Amino acid sequence: MDTILYLIFTLAYFILFGFGFFLIRRNTSIPGIILLLVTLGLIIDNAIIASGSLIGEGGLLKSVSMIRFWTHALFTPALALFGWHMAYSFGVKWAESRLSHHFALVLTLLLMIIEIVTETLSLNLTPVYEYGVLRYSSAHSSGPPIMVLVLIVYLLAASFSIWRKTKWPIILNGVVIMLIGSAVSLPIPSSAATNAFELIFILSLWITYRKSLKAAG
């Protein structure tokens, strides 16, 4: 069952990637490129997990699984910079200062370094087989990493500011749904179902980005 879910998520992200690529071709921008890279990382992540049982336990799956963690470490922190760009695009006052832009840049780089140093470089991958899916996971994983927690807090602040300024609720709803999905354990026999929260979150970012392009004319 979970293999099917991961395949569905892979397809959904692939569609989002195509949608985003279309937007980028028409209007190349930093936030668009960031979302495109994050979406690409999620395609890779879900595709590798979905194909784990087919590849089988061993060196090949372990090696390609490292790509999952590196794309997460390199791409995901940039969502902090994306959050600033959205706040700026929608006219949020604090985002208009040069200091806020510099802060978002520094935060992005800092979160990237933290994730690489504390999680990725010290990875000890072990095979995990559950609900019909074989994947390699960190042997020392214990809850959301620092990078994800700090990123969610920053995006929550940015999306709340956007909502207060414009009453546009989509990005705030997406961040809240992602937060709930990270905190709540669903009582269902699946490890993939919670990834639906992440998909809704990414979808909300793409919808908000598209609206920011329309707002800019």
Dihedral over Cα of 210, 101, 33, 41: its sign: negative
Domains in the chain, number: 1
- pLDDT of 44 higher than 80: yes
Compute the CA torsion angle 119, 124, 130, 132 (nearest 10 deg). 100
The boundaries of the domain holding residue 109 are 2-215
Q: What one-character DSSP code corresponds to residue 119?
A: I
The CATH number of whichever domain residue 59 belongs to comes to 1.20.1070
Query: How far is it, in rounded angstroms, from Cα 14 to Cα 120?
Result: 25
Tens of pLDDT, residues 114-144: 999 988 888 888 888 888 888 888 877 656 6
Residue 217 pLDDT grade (very low, low, confident, very high; cuts 50, 70, 90): low
Question: What is the average per-residue pLDDT within 58-69?
Answer: 89
Q: What percent of the chain has pLDDT over 90?
A: 62
- pLDDT of 71 higher than 90: yes
Dihedral over Cα of 134, 118, 182, 91: its sign: negative
Give ∠ CA 137-142-147 in degrees, rounded to 5: 90
Tens of pLDDT, residues 187-216: 677 777 778 999 999 999 999 999 998 876
Q: What percent of the chain has pLDDT over 70?
A: 94
Phi, psi of 109 (to 5 degrees): -65, -40
- pLDDT of 186 higher than 70: no
Question: What is the average per-residue pLDDT within 175-184?
Answer: 85
